[in-house]
């Protein structure tokens, strides 16, 4: 029996929060990429979740993208490109403080604004060195010019969990893996039993792994993979398809991380 701890969930709550938490034990809060809630909001979210339920949060996009600064304090020119500016440092520090309240892993994603080469690496390193990272895992997904090998090399030096495309790149080394499934993983955006099997094979290579679905049918996919991992009868997606009908209608009272 494999002892890997696999956390399976979705990017945000694609269905009513109570329905979601009854079926899955992990979620990646994606509203935080635009605006961080007040600290006590994170605490309330943790307290209202079932015992053992786990969270990830997406770091604000303004850290890497200077176009995403609306509503943020300080000089708008101080955001972006992962520069160790007072604005970026304060924003990342608030993100880590919120993650501690949730016991959450943080996923940072960077755009082409980060750049490549020694200057970009030094900026990234200086930003991370300027905050208190204790007690928080950081995963990093690059959507810029860096190669998969460069992402892995930088991650090793900066003590980050590299996030790569599980269908195109080899699983990076390390005890912890983070897999983020995007909508256009396949031409149709639909996953099948072969995809599920490959995802599990990759996730089970690690001592611990996070597997986040950001797909057209994220809840169905996540529940199907959870059932497959648990060895339940039936083809992946067979039973979960019934729940898919409610996937586009989350409860209006759902807890959004962006609420004040």
Assess if residue 257 is contained within a domain.
no
Over residues 28-49, mean pLDDT:
90
pLDDT band at 4 (very low <50, low <70, confident <90, very high): low
Assess if residue 258 is contained within a domain.
no
pLDDT band at 116 (very low <50, low <70, confident <90, very high): confident
Number of domains in the chain: 1
Exposed, middle or buried, 142 (CB in 10 Å: 0-12/13-18/19+)? buried
Nearest to 140 by CA among 150, 131, 132: 150
Assess if residue 251 is contained within a domain.
no
CA angle 255, 257, 258 (to 5 degrees): 115
Residues 81 and 123 sit within 8 Å (Cβ to Cβ): yes
What is the 8-class DSSP label of residue 37?
P
Return the SS3 of 7. strand
pLDDT band at 240 (very low <50, low <70, confident <90, very high): very low
Assess if residue 230 is contained within a domain.
yes
Mean pLDDT over the full length of the chain: 84
Assess if residue 35 is contained within a domain.
yes
Q: For 126-191, where are the E strands, in sequence order?
A: 138-142, 161-163, 176-181
Assess if residue 207 is contained within a domain.
yes
Q: Can you give the CATH number for the domain in which 183 is found? A: 3.20.20.410
User: Residue 81 sits in which domain range?
Assistant: 5-246
């Amino acid at each position: 029996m494999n002892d890997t701890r696999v956390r399976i969930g979705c990017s945000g709550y694609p269905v009513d929060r109570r329905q979601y938490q009854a079926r899955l034990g992990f979620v990646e809060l994606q509203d935080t990429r635009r605006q961080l809630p007040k600290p006590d909001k994170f605490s309330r979210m943790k307290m209202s979740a079932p015992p053992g339920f786990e969270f990830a949060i997406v770091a604000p996009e303004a850290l890497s993208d200077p176009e995403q600064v609306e509503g943020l304090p300080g000089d708008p020119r101080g955001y972006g490109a992962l520069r160790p500016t007072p604005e970026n440092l304060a924003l990342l520090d608030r993100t880590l403080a919120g993650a501690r309240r949730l016991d959450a892993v943080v996923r940072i994603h960077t755009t082409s604004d980060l750049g490549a080469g020694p200057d970009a690496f030094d900026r990234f390193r200086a930003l991370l060195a300027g905050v208190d990272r204790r007690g928080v895992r950081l995963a990093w997904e690059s959507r810029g010019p860096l190669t998969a090998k460069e992402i892995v090399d930088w991650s090793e030096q900066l003590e980050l969990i590299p996030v790569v495309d599980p269908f195109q790149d080899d699983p990076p080394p390390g005890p912890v893996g983070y897999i983020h499934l995007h909508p256009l993983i396949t031409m149709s955006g639909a996953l099948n039993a072969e995809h599920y099997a490959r995802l599990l094979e990759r996730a089970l290579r690690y001592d611990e792994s996070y597997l986040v679905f950001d797909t057209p049918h994220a809840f169905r996919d996540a529940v199907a993979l959870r059932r497959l991992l648990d060895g339940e009868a039936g083809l992946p997606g067979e039973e979960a398809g019934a729940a898919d009908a409610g996937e586009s209608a989350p409860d209006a009272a759902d807890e959004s991380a962006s609420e004040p």
